[in-house]
Amino acid sequence: MTAPIPEFAHALVTRDERGVYTLQIHDAKSLNILASAVTLSLTEAARWIAARDDARAVVIRGTGDRAFVGGANIYEMAELDPQGAREFITRLRDLCDAVAAIPVPTVARIPGFCLGAGMELAAACDIRLGSADAVFGMPEVRVGIPSVIHAVLLPAIIGPGPTNWLLLTGETVDAAQAHQWGFLEFVSETGALDALVERTVAPIAESGPIAVRSQKALLRYWSESSVEAGLDRSVAAFGEAFTTDEPRRYMAPFVNRKKHQEAK
């Protein structure tokens, strides 16, 4: 039986019949600003989803289409002392870590503003899809602080040069530039983002759930290991796939189609 979805103060979790979960920023300030209370609630929700055996994919989104996340709460940050600053940024790190640790594919749905902590949260997702009106930036130096935590992922995603430009200038780029750099996998026309998200999650939900989880685990391992270690882990994962009946069940339509064609 599917577990009932709990209520979270600033996160709205929904699930469709396929096992596609949506984690939506809820009851936050306009532009889905990440205050500490919002961050803690999203982290709790992400960890809850991660423990769901029925999950096939997760869409991370804000409320509305003005922003994915417009950044962290500047009014809260303006009152921080050094210890409070470390605690504040650690909460944001925990959120990005919780999203990265979800064992099924995570898809960032990005309309409008995706700034600072929002770009870091998107970087922690497996797949990033944006609307043509999306705006990306890491403006922290403009307000006297460095870009940190999951900005560390940006050189591997978009390269050192674009990362340097974003973090050192604090300037923004449009969706076309973010796509050219490789931050976005695809860009939709304004208003068509949900259709693009569906075209991504549908084949994931139709694939073997054990295989998809295994593939995500391998992708993460490959990013942290040597080539040789990655190859060894791949061989082991391939063998483990055949300890279940999933390969046989998912290969059956292709095998049966070939048999049917040969019988004609």
More confident residue, 178 or 2: 178
The Cα 92–Cα 97 span in angstroms is: 9
**pLDDT beyond 80 at 18:** yes
> pLDDT digit string (tens) for 37-62?
999 999 999 999 999 999 999 999 99
**pLDDT beyond 90 at 107:** yes
> pLDDT digit string (tens) for 251-261?
988 888 766 66
DSSP, residue by residue, 83-139: HHHHHHHHHHHHHHHHHHT-SS-EEEEE-SEEETHHHHHHHTSSEEEEETT-EEE--
The Cα 106–Cα 219 span in angstroms is: 13
Q: Output the pTM of the full model.
A: 0.94
- pLDDT on residue 79: 97
- pLDDT on residue 24: 98
> pLDDT digit string (tens) for 116-167?
999 999 999 999 999 999 999 999 999 999 999 999 999 999 999 999 999 9
- pLDDT on residue 28: 86
Q: What is the mean pLDDT of residues 103-109?
A: 98
The Cα 212–Cα 104 span in angstroms is: 7
Residue 5 burial (CB < 10 Å; 0-12/13-18/19+)?
middle
- pLDDT on residue 255: 84
**pLDDT beyond 70 at 1:** no
Q: What is the mean pLDDT of residues 69-77?
A: 97
What is the band of 29 on the pLDDT scale with cuts at 50, 70, 90?
confident
- pLDDT on residue 30: 86
> pLDDT digit string (tens) for 207-261?
999 999 999 999 999 999 999 999 999 999 999 999 999 999 999 888 887 666 6
- pLDDT on residue 151: 97
